[in-house]
């Protein structure tokens, strides 16, 4: 078994976790190579990503080209995708070595050469004002929006920016795409869920669109066409808690708020 170990050196405390992962692999005589996030290489058939959800998103996109599973160890903030924490690392790594994990294929979106596991966020070129967006699906006009932007999201990304913008929570293994307007200047614009086979186009009469895949640096384009990618992200989980349990534990879904005094 050969393993890629990917780490994000921008996150505080990565050194201790990386050292423990490497030591555990060495003790168990597992062949591995470690790569900083911006220098990933395809060395092994399994990947351990140390960081936050952003680290896992980057690693999952990169290793999807060779259908390599990615297992996340969260040392960031929320860690919605990286369900394993830095506690009990030796036991976690031993389970990886013995194959005690489950795999999930996740839909990704594609626009030209850009991939997104969470979403494409589309905004106007002037962030200080609303813009007009023309939405087409399969070449047919669907809706005109005056809004701050649009979020084109996978089910995995439905619990990210799309959730904050009022979009629905979609079970992560469904084949669907969600279109969520950001602060639309109307009372009748609602999120739209479409089959994964649809081709989504967004244009604007206001000049250029600012497009960011998975929170990466935005680029300016005149229009954009987004569809489901042929590549799938493959995520590995040691403890299969279930999506609804993760919603409750990470996002406090269905838990009554408690009164706190300032």
Spatial contact of 64 and 106, defined as CB atoms under 8 Å apart = no
3 state SS of 261: coil
Nearest-CA neighbor of 179 among 235, 244, 133, 131? 133
* Catalytic annotation, pick one of 9, 53, 223, 230: 53
C-alpha dihedral sign at 214, 216, 220, 221: negative
**Is 223 a residue of the active site?**
no
How far is the first Cα of the chain from the last one, in angstroms, to the nearest whole number? 53
- Residue entry with tokens 């929320």: 78
Task: State how far the Cα of 152 lies from the Cα of 158, in Å rounded to an integer.
Answer: 9
Task: List, by residue number, the catalytic residues.
Answer: 53
């Amino acid at each position: 078994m050969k393993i890629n170990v990917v780490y994000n050196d921008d996150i505080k405390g990565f050194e201790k976790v990386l050292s423990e992962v490497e030591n555990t692999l060495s003790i168990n005589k597992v062949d591995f190579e470690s790569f900083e996030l911006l220098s990933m290489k395809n060395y092994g058939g399994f990947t351990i990503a140390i960081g936050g959800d952003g680290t896992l998103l980057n690693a999952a996109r990169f290793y999807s080209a060779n259908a390599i599973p990615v297992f996340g160890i969260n040392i960031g903030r929320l860690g919605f995708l990286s369900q394993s924490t830095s506690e009990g690392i030796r036991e976690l790594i031993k389970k990886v070595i013995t194959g005690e994990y489950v795999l999930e294929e996740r839909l990704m979106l594609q626009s030209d050469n850009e991939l997104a596991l969470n979403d494409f966020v589309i905004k106007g070129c002037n962030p200080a004002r609303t813009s007009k967006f023309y939405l087409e699906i399969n070449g047919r006009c669907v809706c005109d929006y005056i809004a701050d932007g649009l979020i084109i999201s996978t089910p995995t990304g439905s619990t990210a920016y799309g959730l904050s913008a009022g979009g629905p929570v979609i079970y992560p293994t469904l084949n669907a795409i969600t279109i969520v307007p950001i602060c639309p200047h109307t009372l009748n614009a609602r999120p739209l869920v479409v089959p994964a086979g649809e081709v989504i186009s967004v244009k604007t009469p206001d000049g250029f669109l600012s497009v960011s895949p998975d929170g990466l640096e935005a680029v300016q384009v005149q229009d954009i066409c987004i569809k489901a990618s042929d590549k799938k992200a493959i995520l590995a989980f040691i403890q299969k808690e279930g999506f609804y349990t993760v919603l409750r534990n990470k996002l406090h879904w269905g838990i009554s708020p408690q009164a706190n005094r300032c």
